[in-house]
């Protein structure tokens, strides 16, 4: 049996060889902070839904802990009365944790506010790098926080921990040199920017649509704005206050205003991150998902600002496109796709985000003054 220490050492070696971990002090923090101390012995799940139990399957539990993948530690906010199976807390994949902490450009003596304590592993890594007294971490869920407190104590780490909605930050400790969110947002909360010093960095996963996110390290300017270029794709659970309601698509039971056939697969580009991500912010106020539609797996689109909708599904060797409502939603998607192609099909790392002092969000290409798209507040 490969021991926990051996697996831990191998994981960190892999992160270093891959270039995800570069900072020597951060590497030392990872080596001093084993992940297995922060994963529940029972009740956690792999991203594929496999139940993990250290007591009955210790080898499988340990292998999952030191795989480079997320581990789900809570579903449905811990409420058995809502059996949707929606992950609501997790331990992020080690590669993603390393990437976020490297993006924070941590320096000795800095003070950090973490939004979302989760299992406590990320807070422990920050404390190992910067010192316990320099780390404040916030968790909105009392049950999740209780587990994190226990794990932090067992690991010998003691950052400042508060049960609090992280969307409002923690003013008593401000200003911070870094604010790091372990949840995704569609709107960067003003409190995070205001509570980060000028020249400091807000590191957050950002998404225009749940499921298609990027890492956004945003440097705070003296005028109250924050801006930065995206760094790779990733997926995080949304900040609880920014979740979308569980509403059905507007196309359910609706008759189309328009129907047409297309002979080039329109579904695959919207199910692959590289081609879907730019469309998510170039088209305002919408969401999408997959659903079986009689002839195969189809794609539904639904506006969040009214009853507009579209659906696309295979029909023999072609695809049927139907849409209805005041917006021609599928036409908007086609126009955005054409615009992206005309720009040279740039990948996500060529885009960035500026949050203005009045909280307007603008996604831009290559530079803050380059081509851009005002990101509209999603209707929820």
pLDDT tops 90 at residue 82: no
0.85 exceeded by pTM: yes
Architecture of domain 258-342: 2-Layer Sandwich (3.30)
Nearest to 273 by CA among 317, 231, 212: 212
pLDDT tops 80 at residue 343: yes
Q: What span, in angstroms and rounded, lies between the C-alpha atoms of 279 and 277?
A: 5
The model's confidence at residue 324, banded by pLDDT at 50, 70 and 90, is very high
Q: 308 an active-site residue? A: no
229-248: per-residue pLDDT in tens?
999 998 888 998 888 777 78
The model's confidence at residue 377, banded by pLDDT at 50, 70 and 90, is low
The whole-number pLDDT of residue 84 equals 66
4-16: per-residue pLDDT in tens?
999 999 999 999 9
pLDDT tops 70 at residue 347: yes
Q: What span, in angstroms and rounded, lies between the C-alpha atoms of 322 and 257?
A: 8
The whole-number pLDDT of residue 242 equals 87
274-303: per-residue pLDDT in tens?
999 999 999 999 999 999 997 899 999 999
Average pLDDT over residues 34-52: 95
Q: What span, in angstroms and rounded, lies between the C-alpha atoms of 193 and 208?
A: 19
Classify the phi-psi angles of 211: left when phi > 0, otherwise alpha if psi is within -120 to 50, otherwise beta.
left
Contacts of 99 (CB under 8 A, 6+ apart): 20, 215, 231, 232, 234
- Which of 89, 90, 91, 92 is an active site residue? 92
Average pLDDT over residues 256-280: 95
The whole-number pLDDT of residue 378 equals 55
Q: What is the residue extent of each domain of the chain?
A: 4-242, 258-342
Question: 241-264: b or e for each residue (b if 16 or more CB lie within 10 Å)?
Answer: ebeeeeeebbbeeeebeeeeeeee
What is the DSSP secondary-structure string of 315-368? ETTEEEEEEESSS-HHHHHHHHHHHHHHTT---GGGEEEEE-TT--EEEEESST
The whole-number pLDDT of residue 83 equals 62
pLDDT tops 50 at residue 379: no
Portion of the chain with pLDDT greater than 90, in percent:
87
Architecture of domain 4-242: 3-Layer(aba) Sandwich (3.40)
The whole-number pLDDT of residue 299 equals 96
The whole-number pLDDT of residue 380 equals 47
């Amino acid at each position: 049996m490969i021991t926990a220490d051996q697996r831990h050492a191998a994981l960190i070696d892999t992160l270093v060889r891959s270039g995800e971990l570069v900072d020597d002090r951060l590497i030392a923090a990872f080596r001093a902070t084993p992940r297995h101390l922060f994963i529940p012995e029972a009740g956690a799940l792999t991203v594929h839904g496999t139940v993990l139990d250290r007591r009955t399957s210790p080898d499988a539990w340990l292998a999952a802990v030191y795989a480079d993948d997320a581990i789900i530690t809570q579903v449905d906010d811990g409420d058995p009365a809502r059996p949707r199976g929606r992950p609501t807390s997790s331990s992020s994949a080690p590669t993603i944790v390393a990437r976020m902490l490297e993006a924070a450009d941590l320096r000795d003596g800095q003070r950090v506010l973490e939004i979302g304590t989760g299992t406590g592993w990320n807070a422990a890594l920050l404390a190992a790098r910067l010192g316990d007294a320099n780390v404040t971490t916030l968790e909105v869920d009392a049950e999740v926080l209780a587990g994190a407190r226990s794990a932090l104590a067992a690991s010998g780490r003691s950052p400042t921990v508060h049960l609090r909605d992280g969307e409002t930050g923690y003013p008593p400790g401000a200003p911070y040199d870094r604010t790091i969110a372990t949840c995704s947002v569609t709107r960067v909360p003003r409190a995070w920017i205001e509570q980060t010093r000028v020249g400091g960095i807000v590191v957050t996963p950002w998404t225009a649509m749940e499921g298609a996110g990027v890492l956004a390290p945003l440097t705070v300017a003296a005028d109250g704005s924050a801006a930065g270029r995206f760094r790779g794709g990733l997926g995080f659970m949304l900040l609880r206050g920014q979740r979308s309601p569980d509403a059905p698509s507007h196309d359910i039971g609706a008759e189309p205003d328009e129907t047409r056939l297309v002979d080039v697969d329109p579904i695959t580009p919207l199910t692959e991150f590289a081609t879907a991500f730019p469309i998510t912010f170039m088209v305002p106020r919408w969401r999408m998902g997959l659903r079986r539609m009689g002839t195969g797996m189809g794609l539904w689109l639904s506006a969040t600002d009214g009853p507009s909708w579209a659906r696309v599904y295979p029909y023999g060797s072609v695809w049927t496109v139907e849409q209805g409502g005041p917006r021609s939603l599928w036409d908007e998607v086609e126009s955005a796709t054409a615009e992206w192609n005309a720009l040279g099909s740039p990948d996500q790392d060529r885009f960035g985000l500026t949050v203005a002092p009045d909280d307007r969000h603008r996604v831009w290409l290559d530079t803050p003054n380059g081509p851009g798209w005002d990101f509209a507040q999603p209707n929820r």
